[in-house]
Homo-oligomer: A and B are copies of this chain.
Amino acid sequence: MARAATTSDVFNAIGHAHRRDILDALIGGEKTVGAIVDDLAMSQPQVSKHLRVLDEVGLVSWRAEGSRRLYRIEPTRLQPFHDWLANYEQAWSERLDRMDVYLKELQQQGGPQ
């Protein structure tokens, strides 16, 4: 077998730097494909293809205006990522708690020999 078939997965979508660049470029608000092409140094088909991936995953949406498309970020779709991160932060703080308990025990016992 080969690479895991994980396309159309939010994590995979943001796993590529160019797509993160595109998302970053959209932080200020909706933008035209051409504007993104100008902002970043990418070819138009390249941008369109990455936008397609981002759209399939739901990270961006668009509306037509004449012959242009205005793309915008769909920040709510970052929720899975957010949730994923939260697990580790919880694990981390629990770990700090345990360390805290340990340190307090040491204090009560007068410290290690």
Given contacts A9-B17, A16-B4, contact A24 B78 (CB under 8 A): no
Hey, which chain B residues are within 8 Å of A65, CB to CB? none
Copies of this chain present in the complex amount to 2
Whether a CB of chain B sits under 8 angstroms from the CB of A20 is yes
CA distance A78 to B86 in the complex (A): 10
Contact among B17, B27, B78 with A6 in the assembled complex (CB-CB below 8 Å)? B17
Determine chain A's interface SS by DSSP, over half rule. helix
Contact A91 B27 (CB under 8 A): yes
Residues 67-94 of chain A: 1 if any B CB is under 8 Å from the residue's CB, otherwise 0? Answer: 0000001011010011011011101100
- Residues on B with C-beta less than 8 A from A76 are 92
Q: Which of B6, B23, B89 contacts A75 (CB 8 A)?
A: B89
The chain B residue with its CB closest to the CB of A82 is B85
User: Does chain B have a CB within 8 A of A18?
Assistant: yes
